[in-house]
Each structure stands twice: as structure tokens, then as C-alpha cells.
Amino acid sequence: MLLLITGVTAVGAVTTRLQCVDAARDAALAAARGEPGAVAGQRSAPEGAEVTVQVSGDLATATVTAPIPLLGSRFPALTVRASAVAAVEPGPPEPAP
């Protein structure tokens, strides 16, 4: 039984990690285009995720952090994190985080 619960938790962790990668990519690309990146990332982020976007020079960096509960609420949650970087596109509008 413990092996089954561990397997289900591992599958959930991988799924959450892939959602974080997608959300970070969406947020970085939106910020590079001058759109609000955090809003774009939050749309595809898993539930309870935190999306942060930072524009520095000609790079937009997005980081998505999401908790993965282990065996209900009895144990502390694991955290998965994904980051993406995109080059800021040239043009008149200034990138928005």
C-alpha cells in the first residue's frame, strides 16, 4: 500500500513539475513581449503555485513554485520549481513583470 501511495505521489509530482515548466515558459514569453507575465503564467500554473517574473536588461526570467502535498496533510509538502528565460523583444513598450 505504501508503494502505491508513493507511486501516485511521484506521478503527481511529475505532472505538477511539467505544469510549472509550461507556466514559466508562458510567463517569460509574455513578459518578453511587454505583457504582464505573471498573469499569463498563472493561467497555466497548477493550483497554489506562485509565479514571479523579473525583467533585467534584455532578459525576462520567470519562476514558478508549486507545493505537492504528501500523503494528505500529515506530512510537509514538497515544492517543485521551474524557471524560464526569454529575450526581451525590441520595440516601444517597456516589458511588464
Cell 519562476 -> residue: 63
What pLDDT sits at residue 84?
96
> Position of cell 498573469?
39
- Note the pLDDT tens digit of each residue in 13-41: 899 999 999 999 999 999 999 888 889 99
> Which residues make Cβ contacts (< 8 Å) with residue 79, sequence separation at least 6?
65, 66, 67, 68
> Model confidence over 55-93: pLDDT tens digits?
998 999 999 999 987 765 566 678 999 999 999 988 765
Residue 96, pLDDT score: 58
The whole-model pTM stands at 0.82
